[in-house]
Chain A
Amino acid sequence: QKEVEQNSGPLSVPEGAIASLNCTYSDRGSQSFFWYRQYSGKSPELIMFIYSNGDKEDGRFTAQLNKASQYVSLLIRDSQPSDSATYLCAVSPSGGSYIPTFGRGTSLIVHP
């Protein structure tokens, strides 16, 4: 059973701070890693993907991947109240399947 673990939160940060969201996964051979944002009652929206070890930056978002330690994180700089949502980590496994396994998500609250 391939597992993707996230702290359910909520993670509460003040506006303007850096929010750090973490995800660990069990399948050492996983190749692709995705972060989705999901507002309450809405569908997941892809915000970042990363395939290689290291950091990938896109605007206020940075994804960090450490395959040796089997974790992937998402940093949100200058957090805004509109960033308040649940952040889903999704990991594509090894072994011929390309279907991502989703974590339960971390609820982020950015308070003014």
Chain B
Amino acid sequence: EPEVTQTPSHQVTQMGQEVILRCVPISNHLYFYWYRQILGQKVEFLVSFYNNEISEKSEIFDDQFSVERPDGSNFTLKIRSTKLEDSAMYFCASSEELNNEQFFGPGTRLTVL
């Protein structure tokens, strides 16, 4: 069964460093998303992406964040200058259509020291 994959599974970084989280969505899906979940808290939407551009973003997704689809398969989230409060699980998701079921990847645990 096709699935969303994410790398790395765990990323440790120093405050102020840049990180890039990678995702490979399900191949026939057209809509891609990034969410984060701080430990013990709810899943929060960051950004959605369709047709090579951002379609929606939340208040969390400020200028420190960017997304890119560098090729036909990868979808990346970049955090330019990480802060301690960026420590969380970051989930990539994809869906075939808008307002359709979203399938989540296994997540990347980001730890900012």
Residues of A near any B CB (own CB < 8 A): 31-32, 34, 36, 42-46, 49, 88, 90, 92, 97-105
Q: Which residues of A contact B44 (CB under 8 A)?
A: 102
Which chain A residue lies CB-closest to B6? A43
Could you write out 5 A-B pairs with CB less than 8 Å apart?
Answer: A36-B104, A42-B107, A46-B103, A98-B99, A105-B42
Given contacts A31-B99, A32-B99, A98-B99, contact A44 B104 (CB under 8 A): yes
Which chain B residue lies CB-closest to A4? B42
Q: Please tell me if the beta carbons of A99 and B91 are within 8 angstroms of each other in the complex.
A: no
Q: Which 10 A-B pairs give the minimum distances between C-beta atoms? A: A98-B99, A102-B43, A43-B104, A104-B42, A43-B107, A98-B98, A44-B104, A99-B45, A102-B42, A43-B106
In the complex, besides A45-B104, A97-B56, 9 extra interface pairs with C-beta distance below 8 angstroms are: A43-B105, A44-B104, A46-B101, A46-B102, A46-B104, A49-B101, A88-B42, A99-B33, A102-B42
Which chain A residue lies CB-closest to B31? A98
Q: Which residues of B contact A31 (CB under 8 A)?
A: 99
User: Is B41 located at the chain interface by the 8 A CB criterion?
Assistant: yes
Q: Please tell me if the beta carbons of A100 and B102 are within 8 angstroms of each other in the complex.
A: yes
Q: Which residues of B contact A92 (CB under 8 A)?
A: 99
Report the Cα distance A93→B106, complex, angstroms.
Answer: 25
Which chain A residue lies CB-closest to B56? A99
